[in-house]
Amino acid sequence: MSTVTISASDVNKLRQQTGAGMMDCKKALTETNGDFEAAIDFLRKKGAKVAASRQDRESNEGVVIARASADGKFGVIIELNCETDFVAKNAEFVAFANQIANTAVENKPASLEALTALSIDTDATTIKISDAIIDRTGKIGEKIGVSKYEVIEAEKVVAYIHGNFRLGVLVGLSANVATADEAGKDVAMQIAAMSPVAIDKDGVDATTIERELEIAKEQIRLEGKPEEMVEKIAAGKLNKFYKDSTLLNQEFVKDSSKTVGQFLNGIEKGLTVTAFKRVALGA
């Protein structure tokens, strides 16, 4: 039993430092005889317990943050999940997601595991992102975590966030031209709306091509077309798939008289997309 008197100001001080609830802070100080460092550890352990108890909960809400480096050569997308839309809209939750994204841009980790092993400043201390996530799980009372981490490098990287943090896009351009930011945003909006499967037909994997051909052939046979025509018609349908589903061959949303490739080439001859990433919340 604690022999130290826990004042309201002590409780409030711990609450300001940790963001935990008043009753949790009072209990932590009581259990640790007023030792603030021990109380913080007590709350962190409580957070870990909460996190463990919520492992079976669905966390399909959250935010998607896309961010490019100051020099425009590197970009990241992270998806930070939670259980409810209420938490996802909380300013502190969004700020935490932005802090993780900024840390990723600054340190360029190679994987999600490497990202969560990085340290960030939080609650007047420096801890690993993985530990910060556990802390916030305890404070918020919901399962949270980073589920996706994507990166690209290019001569010019443009980041775009769509739909109140519901979808993030990165576009890598082959050159940093005068209008690269504007052009990159237009292409990013195209990617957000049309969800291409690759930059061009050379980027479509063999499994997807085979699946599209088989679907096309079955459709043609069901239409009663002669077997000798199936291969030729299927090839035509595959070309239509390339036109609809590969970025540079898609009709440009803002001007359907040209493709995305033609739009970029019109800005500067040879300008093209070298890489892109698209992350939709919960997808």
Cα 225 to Cα 229: distance, rounded to the nearest angstrom: 7
Q: Which helix (H) or strand (E) holds 227?
A: helix 227-245
Strand partners, 273: 173
> Start-end ranges of CATH 3.30.479.20 in the chain?
61-153
The model's pTM: 0.81
> What are the tokens at 88?
């996802």
Q: CB–CB of 178/194 below 8 Å?
A: no
Fold of domain 8-53: Helicase, Ruva Protein; domain 3 (1.10.8)
> Start-end ranges of CATH 1.10.8.10 in the chain?
8-53
Domain range 61-153, CATH class = alpha beta
Q: How confident is the model at residue 50 (pLDDT cuts 50, 70, 90)?
A: low
pLDDT at site 195:
95
pLDDT at site 109:
97
> What are the tokens at 122?
């939080």
Q: Tens digit of pLDDT for each residue in 224-279?
A: 899 889 999 999 999 999 999 999 999 999 999 999 999 999 999 999 999 999 99
Q: CB–CB of 82/61 below 8 Å?
A: yes
3-state class of 273 per DSSP? strand
The dihedral of CA 179, 180, 181, 184: what is its sign? positive
